[in-house]
């Protein structure tokens, strides 16, 4: 049960009605709509930060799902378990990202593990990211790729705390699907 | 210096109304049956500060708006209100809505200080029959209003009367009220007759005309809850703020909600506000 009075098409502010024109836009937009002047700018950041971007959906979902697991955001874990499976991650990879299986087994490729160590350094710790994590990440990835993945981690952390603090609900459809797949 | 910029242009060309409304507060000593904001003595205390109201006035003038309106709740429940109104009227002409039921003793003295060429007090009076008027507006409302209006006028305060009606705006049944208003020295041009709008408490009770955004005069309206499309925007229903006409939660700088209103105006087709007579 959300702590917020989530808006719907009947009471969405007139300047953001378009987001509700196709039906329920989901709890994040329904929550952001209560400050209508912040909705478009926020989505303008979140959209590209979580979208495929230059590095593609596979690595983007690494960042989103791993960060969400480290931050303990059940809403985002559920949502991006479904998305990760949709974009081709295996169940073993998803379980690895969610911390339910060893990373080394789920991700044998050094480039994947280097990227995950960088994500863990950002989202799973405070203070400086160790030099060896940076050096290993740079050995496998360009600077701009690490910048982009870091933007994704930051946007995800915002959503993690937003969804968790306001207790945004996972949709019944998503829960039913994940339950059927044994991934709830 | 003459204001310039997109807001000033929109006001000058009639794209955007020139008046900015401010809800000084939501609480009220009355609890009228058709109140848009469910105002009553028990309403949650949500109010603008005097500094915010003056800033709105200053920035409205700089942006190119041409007038101000202040409503509530009952504005005169705020002890600092007359001083703020006088300061705001130095920026732009102002109409101040009041139920005029508090004008005795110190409050009457404070109200009479508003004798100013750019200030008008708009007082609600819905019927020439005291029992009919008081049924909607509360006990003794009629008597207090007809007592206050001559006192205010004698002190040099410009008084307008606003009548809110569930019936036709041109009904002959309103003629005795028009005569009563005239007898109090209020010119016919300063007697406003308007329909009950089905929002807020009126909606809960199935009263008044239904109106969509384009039917409601799009005057920028500032309250403690944010900025809205029209003074009929920040309504309250069953204790919950209506957000359908919310423009921004940001109220200052005023350019933020004014720009949002201009954007919304450019995205809506013409309405039927003239036909409904909502004002």
Question: How many Å apart are CA B154 and CA B150, to the nearest integer?
Answer: 6
**B278 in a structural domain:** no
Q: How confident is the model at residue B159 (pLDDT cuts 50, 70, 90)?
A: very high
Segment B87-128, tens digit of pLDDT: 999 999 999 999 999 998 888 888 999 999 999 999 999 999
Q: How confident is the model at residue B268 (pLDDT cuts 50, 70, 90)?
A: low
Q: Does A142 touch chain B (CB under 8 A)?
A: no
Tokens of B108: 């009457």
Residues A91 and A170 in one domain: yes
Is there a contact between A37 and B242 if contact means CB atoms under 8 Å apart? no
| B216 against B22, higher pLDDT | B22
- In percent, the amount of chain B with pLDDT more than 70 equals 96
Is there a contact between B264 and A37 if contact means CB atoms under 8 Å apart? no
Is there a contact between B243 and A10 if contact means CB atoms under 8 Å apart? no
Average pLDDT over chain A reads 96
**B172 in a structural domain:** yes
- Chain B residues with CB under 8 Å of A29 CB are none
Is there a contact between A36 and B248 if contact means CB atoms under 8 Å apart? yes
**B1 in a structural domain:** no
CB pairs under 8 A between A and B: 41
Total number of domains constituting chain B: 1
pLDDT of the residue at A143: 98
**B276 in a structural domain:** no
Residues A148 and A170 in one domain: yes
Instruction: Return the H-helix or E-strand segment holding A183.
Output: none
For A56, residues 6+ apart whose C-beta sits below 8 A from its C-beta are none
User: In chain B, whose CA is at the least distance from the CA of A8?
Assistant: B244
Residues A109 and A129 in one domain: yes
Is there a contact between A13 and B247 if contact means CB atoms under 8 Å apart? yes
**A153 in a structural domain:** yes
Q: Does A12 touch chain B (CB under 8 A)?
A: yes
**A3 in a structural domain:** no
pLDDT of the residue at A98: 97
pLDDT of the residue at B273: 46
Q: Does A41 touch chain B (CB under 8 A)?
A: no
Residues A22 and A56 in one domain: no
pLDDT of the residue at B172: 84
Residues A27 and A70 in one domain: no
* Nearest CB partner across the interface for A14, out of B249, B250, B264: B264
Q: How confident is the model at residue A117 (pLDDT cuts 50, 70, 90)?
A: very high
**Domain containing A144 — which CATH number?**
1.20.1290.10
Question: How many Å apart are CA B201 and CA B32, to the nearest integer?
Answer: 8
Residues A43 and A92 in one domain: no
Residue B111 burial (C-beta neighbours within 10 Å; 0-12, 13-18, 19+): buried
**B167 in a structural domain:** yes
pLDDT of the residue at B105: 84
Segment B164-187, tens digit of pLDDT: 888 888 888 899 999 999 999 999
Mean pLDDT of B69-86: 96
Q: Residue B210 pLDDT > 60, yes or no?
A: yes
Residues A56 and A45 in one domain: no
User: In chain A, whose CA is at the least distance from the CA of B267?
Assistant: A15
**A1 in a structural domain:** no
Question: How many Å apart are CA A33 and CA A15, to the nearest integer?
Answer: 9
Query: What is the domain extent for residue B51?
Result: 6-268
Is there a contact between A14 and B245 if contact means CB atoms under 8 Å apart? yes
Is there a contact between B246 and A10 if contact means CB atoms under 8 Å apart? no
Q: Please, are residues B252 and B259 in contact by the beta-carbon 8 Å criterion? A: no
Residues A34 and A113 in one domain: no
pLDDT of the residue at B110: 87
Residues A56 and A102 in one domain: yes
Average pLDDT over chain B reads 91
Residues A36 and A85 in one domain: no
**A21 in a structural domain:** yes
Segment B17-29, tens digit of pLDDT: 999 999 999 999 9
Q: How confident is the model at residue B274 (pLDDT cuts 50, 70, 90)?
A: very low
DSSP assignment string, B99-114: -----SHHHHHHHHTT
State the CB neighbour count (10 A cutoff) for residue A41: 10
Q: Residue A182 pLDDT > 70, yes or no?
A: yes
Residues A58 and A144 in one domain: yes
**B24 in a structural domain:** yes
Question: How many Å apart are CA A169 and CA A79, to the nearest integer?
Answer: 10
Segment A55-101, tens digit of pLDDT: 999 999 999 999 999 999 999 999 999 999 999 999 999 999 999 99
Q: Residue A147 pLDDT > 60, yes or no?
A: yes
Q: Residue B279 pLDDT > 70, yes or no?
A: no
**A133 in a structural domain:** yes
User: In chain A, whose CA is at the least distance from the CA of B237?
Assistant: A11
**Domain containing B94 — which CATH number?**
3.20.20.70
**B274 in a structural domain:** no
ipTM for the complex? Answer: 0.85
User: In chain B, whose CA is at the least distance from the CA of A37?
Assistant: B248
Total number of domains constituting chain A: 2
Segment A35-54, tens digit of pLDDT: 999 999 999 999 999 998 99
- Chain A residues with CB under 8 Å of B263 CB are 15
Query: What is the domain extent for residue A38?
Result: 14-49
Segment B29-66, tens digit of pLDDT: 999 888 889 999 999 889 999 999 999 999 999 999 99
- Chain A residues with CB under 8 Å of B256 CB are 37
Residues of B with CB under 8 A from a CB of A: 213, 229, 240, 242-250, 256, 260, 263-264
Residues A27 and A67 in one domain: no
Is there a contact between B247 and A36 if contact means CB atoms under 8 Å apart? yes
- Chain B residues with CB under 8 Å of A35 CB are 248-249
- Chain B residues with CB under 8 Å of A14 CB are 213, 229, 244-247, 264
Question: How many Å apart are CA A183 and CA A174, to the nearest integer?
Answer: 10
**B133 in a structural domain:** yes
Q: Residue A183 pLDDT > 80, yes or no?
A: yes
Q: Does A132 touch chain B (CB under 8 A)?
A: no
pTM (predicted TM-score): 0.89
């Amino acid at each position: 049960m959300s702590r917020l009075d989530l808006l719907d098409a009947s009471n969405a502010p007139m300047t953001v009605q378009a987001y509700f024109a196709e039906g329920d836009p989901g709890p994040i937009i329904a929550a952001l709509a209560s400050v209508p002047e912040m909705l478009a700018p926020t989505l303008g950041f979140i959209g590209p930060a979580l979208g495929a971007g230059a590095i593609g959906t596979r690595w983007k979902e690494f960042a989103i799902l791993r960060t969400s697991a480290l931050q303990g955001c059940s809403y985002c874990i559920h949502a991006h378990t479904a998305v990760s499976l949709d974009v081709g991650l295996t169940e073993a990879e998803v379980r690895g990202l969610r911390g339910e299986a060893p990373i080394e087994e789920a991700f044998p490729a050094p480039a994947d593990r280097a990227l995950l160590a960088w994500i863990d350094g950002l989202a799973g710790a405070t203070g400086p990211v160790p030099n060896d994590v940076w050096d290993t990440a740079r050995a496998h990835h360009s600077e701009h790729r690490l910048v982009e993945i870091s933007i994704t981690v930051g946007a995800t952390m915002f959503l993690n705390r937003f969804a968790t603090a306001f207790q945004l609900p996972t949709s019944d459809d998503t829960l039913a699907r994940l339950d059927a797949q044994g991934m709830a | 210096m003459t204001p310039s910029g997109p807001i000033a242009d929109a006001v000058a060309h009639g794209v955007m109304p020139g008046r900015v409304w401010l809800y000084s507060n939501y609480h009220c000593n009355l609890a009228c049956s058709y109140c848009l904001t469910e105002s009553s003595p028990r309403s949650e205390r949500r109010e603008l500060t005097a500094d915010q109201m003056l800033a709105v006035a200053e920035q409205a003038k700089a942006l190119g708006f041409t007038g101000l309106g202040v409503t509530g709740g009952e504005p005169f429940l705020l002890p600092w209100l007359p001083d703020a109104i006088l300061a705001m009227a130095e920026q732009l002409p102002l109409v101040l809505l009041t139920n005029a039921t508090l004008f005795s003793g110190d409050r009457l003295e404070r109200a009479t200080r508003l004798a100013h060429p750019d200030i008008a007090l708009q007082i609600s009076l819905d019927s020439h029959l005291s029992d009919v008027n008081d049924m909607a507006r509360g006990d003794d409302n009629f008597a207090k209003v007809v007592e206050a209006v001559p006192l205010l006028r004698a002190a040099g305060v410009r008084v307008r009367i606003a009548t809110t009606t569930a019936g036709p705006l041109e009904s002959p049944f309103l003629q005795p009220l028009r005569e009563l208003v005239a007898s109090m020295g209020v010119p016919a041009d300063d007697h406003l007759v308007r329909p009950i709008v089905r929002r807020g408490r009126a909606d809960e009770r199935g009263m008044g005309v239904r109106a969509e955004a384009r039917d409601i005069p799009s005057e920028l309206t500032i309250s403690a809850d944010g900025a809205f499309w029209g003074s009929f925007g920040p309504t309250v229903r069953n204790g919950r703020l209506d957000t359908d006409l919310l423009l921004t939660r940001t109220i200052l700088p005023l350019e933020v909600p004014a720009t949002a209103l201009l954007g919304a105006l450019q995205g809506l087709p013409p309405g039927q506000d003239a036909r409904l007579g909502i004002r």
